Chains A and B, each alone.
Chain A
Amino acid sequence: MSIVVKGVSKRFNDFPALDDVSLDVETGSLTALLGPSGSGKSTLLRVIAGLEQPDEGEVVIFGDDATGLAPQKRGVGFVFQHYAAFKHMTVYDNIAFGLTIRKRPKAEIESRVGELLELVQLKPFAHRYPAQLSGGQRQRMALARALAVEPKVLLLDEPFGALDARVRAELREWLRRLHEEVHVTTVFVTHDQEEAMQVADRIAVMNKGRIEQVGGPRDLYEHPETEFVMSFVGPVNRVGDTWVRPHDLELSAEPSDGADEAMIERIVHLGFEVRVELTRADGEKLWAQVTRDRCEELELEEGQIVYLRPQHERVFSAAT
């Protein structure tokens, strides 16, 4: 294990940001901390980095107890949501910062920074200042800066949160490829379940200062252990105590055993996907996700009566 977090609690005034959190991060993995804002995911990342001190519990990094250790002694690289670029330094000097601090020979710094500039595709911008870069370029610079000192673990706090959708999608792809190349143990924080699923190989879902569930993207989606995980990692319909994903609501034009009657309120075409908004005979509102082909095959129309057969429904014992 690269990182072991044991029973960590942290309060800000009266607000419990972390409540007895334990987490193991495997060496070489790419782990996402996923949760809504205020769930404690950023605080957990900052505790691992040493930027926050936990009230209780311990943090072990590669077998060494790091709980009381200053951030500069932990061997972690940290990337901030708003880049934290050193504004008065060029891109080159930003990336070289950690090596300059360590008083490495000039030739070594030059070759290492050169490699990293290549890796993050910023070679032509080496002598610009951060203010002259786009958001995506700044974040790539921040990543290179963190990687320059060869950290044992790389921690990213909502790294793409401040970027527009297109750049965000590009950088996700790029981070995934970078991880395959560099293979440093990486933990990143996100509130975007799609981002977590696309980039990470393990996801820890957090809610109200606790970890609800840890697992692979598919595992979490298909076998959520709590209502929160069920509703956070994908779309859901809730009918009474029963939860079902919209694509698991099978529609048919003919009645059958155990199928509920419902009326189509609205049909939303989103290209390949079609959303069908329904009202059941008992007044419950839900929606189903079908493919365009299926929609055409059933000749669905607004106002039409259809029959619903939920698949893979879930009932969670005692609300968590």
Chain B
Amino acid sequence: MANALRRFGLRGIAFAYLAAILIGPLAVVFYRTFENGFGAAWDALSSPETVNAFKLTLIITAIAVPANTVFGIACALAIVRRKFPGKGIVNAFVDLPLALSPVVVGLSLYLLYGRDGWFGSWLTDHGIQVLFALPSMVIATIFVSLPFVAREVVPTLREIGDEQEQAARTLGASSWQTFRRITLPAIRWAVIYGVILTTARSLGEYGAVAVVSGHLQGQTETATLRVEERYQSLDLAGAYSISIVLALLAVLVLVAMTVIRPKEEAV
């Protein structure tokens, strides 16, 4: 008996915890979505505002992910391969978005680009709308999803060392050729893994975007903001059905990750 407890104790705790915190709520969302039939959920999802919200989320993600992929790789290369003053600070700052509350990020953007902000008046004079428009939402999303690629790539770069790169240089490869043919293939799984995490984070971003978006229905409302808006409007079916699509996207991302992980270890 004690033996059995010991064997299943840890597993039981882990499973109970996951069930209570994660699986339970998700199951409820799932149940509620289809409580009034598939038709109701479909109606909520196909409303023009909701379709627009998903479009906006995808557009923001499509800009933020490539931007952070390029930045993340460049940043990781700088941190691992270069020596420069202030390197430690750069290394620490990459992690800042993980520690900082997204609301604070949104607020700081608000203070920078708002009408009375540092850049706000200049931008307004030149007819460029940043706040309550796509640019500020993209910037906010880029900020919160910034660390993932760099954090994945840095340890891999350290592990592979720079001898292969040096060998490529002595064989006649330029810096770019060395990066393309040697470094990038060596870090590819780390990059892909980082891209997946960045995508997940971008799709799910709420706090920072909520502050800078202005909640203009059909214009600056992302999928996560739409969930909030439906909920406040007491349209629970709508809120649940959008949530379920977001949850499914997250599950897709998880599946993609588990499919990729073993391959990475095999290489």
Q: Is the CB of B163 within 8 A of A80?
A: yes
Min Cβ gap A60→B in Å is: 18
- Residues in B with CB closer than 8 Å to A315 are none
Q: Is the CB of A72 within 8 A of B172?
A: yes
Q: Is the CB of A101 within 8 A of B173?
A: yes
Interface of B is mostly: helix
Interface residue? A182 (CB, 8 A): no
- Residues in B with CB closer than 8 Å to A74 are 170
Interface residue? A97 (CB, 8 A): yes
- Residues in B with CB closer than 8 Å to A197 are none
Distance of A50 Cα from B167 Cα, bound (Å): 11
Distance of A148 Cα from B267 Cα, bound (Å): 27
Interface residue? B81 (CB, 8 A): no
Q: Is the CB of B164 within 8 A of A78?
A: no
Option from B166, B172, B174, B177 in Cβ contact (under 8 Å) with A84 = B166
**Residues A72 and B171 in contact in the complex (CB < 8 Å), given A88-B185, A101-B177:** yes
Min Cβ gap A299→B in Å is: 56
Q: Is the CB of A72 within 8 A of B170?
A: yes
Min Cβ gap B241→A in Å is: 44
Which single residue of chain A is at the shortest CB-CB distance from B177? A101
**Residues A80 and B166 in contact in the complex (CB < 8 Å), given A86-B182, A88-B185, A88-B186:** yes
Q: Is the CB of A70 within 8 A of B164?
A: no
- Residues in A with CB closer than 8 Å to B167 are 78, 80, 84, 86, 142, 145
Min Cβ gap B75→A in Å is: 23
Which single residue of chain B is at the shortest CB-CB distance from A49? B170
**Residues A98 and B171 in contact in the complex (CB < 8 Å), given A88-B185, A88-B186:** yes
Option from B170, B177, B186, B267 in Cβ contact (under 8 Å) with A71 = B170
Q: Is the CB of B171 within 8 A of A149?
A: yes
Interface residue? A77 (CB, 8 A): yes
Q: Scan A57-91; emit 1 where CB is below 8 A from any B CB, else 0.
A: 00000000000001110101110101011111000
- Residues in A with CB closer than 8 Å to B177 are 101
A74-120 with Cβ < 8 A to chain B: 74, 76-78, 80, 82, 84-88, 97-98, 101-102
Interface residue? B87 (CB, 8 A): no
Interface residue? A51 (CB, 8 A): yes
Interface residue? B168 (CB, 8 A): yes
B181-203 with Cβ < 8 A to chain A: 181-182, 185-186
**Residues A97 and B170 in contact in the complex (CB < 8 Å), given A86-B182, A88-B185:** no
Which single residue of chain B is at the shortest CB-CB distance from A98? B171
Which single residue of chain A is at the shortest CB-CB distance from B188? A88
Interface residue? A262 (CB, 8 A): no
Interface residue? B169 (CB, 8 A): yes
Distance of A148 Cα from B167 Cα, bound (Å): 13
Distance of A207 Cα from B120 Cα, bound (Å): 64
Option from A50, A85, A88, A101 in Cβ contact (under 8 Å) with B171 = A101
Option from A50, A87, A102 in Cβ contact (under 8 Å) with B164 = A87
Min Cβ gap A192→B in Å is: 21
**Residues A72 and B169 in contact in the complex (CB < 8 Å), given A84-B164, A86-B164, A101-B177:** yes
Interface residue? A249 (CB, 8 A): no
Interface residue? A146 (CB, 8 A): yes
- Residues in A with CB closer than 8 Å to B168 are 86, 97
Min Cβ gap B171→A in Å is: 4
Distance of A102 Cα from B172 Cα, bound (Å): 8
Which positions in A face B, CB cutoff 8 Å?
49-51, 70-72, 74, 76-78, 80, 82, 84-88, 97-98, 101-102, 142, 145-146, 148-149
Which positions in B face A, CB cutoff 8 Å?
163-164, 166-174, 177, 181-182, 185-186, 267
Question: Can you report 26 residue pairs joining A to B where beta carbons are below 8 Å apart?
Answer: A49-B170, A71-B166, A71-B169, A72-B169, A72-B170, A72-B171, A72-B172, A72-B173, A72-B174, A74-B170, A77-B170, A78-B166, A78-B170, A86-B164, A87-B164, A88-B185, A88-B186, A88-B267, A97-B173, A97-B181, A101-B171, A101-B181, A142-B167, A146-B171, A149-B171, A149-B172
Q: Which 3 A-B pairs have the closest CB atoms?
A: A98-B171, A84-B163, A84-B167
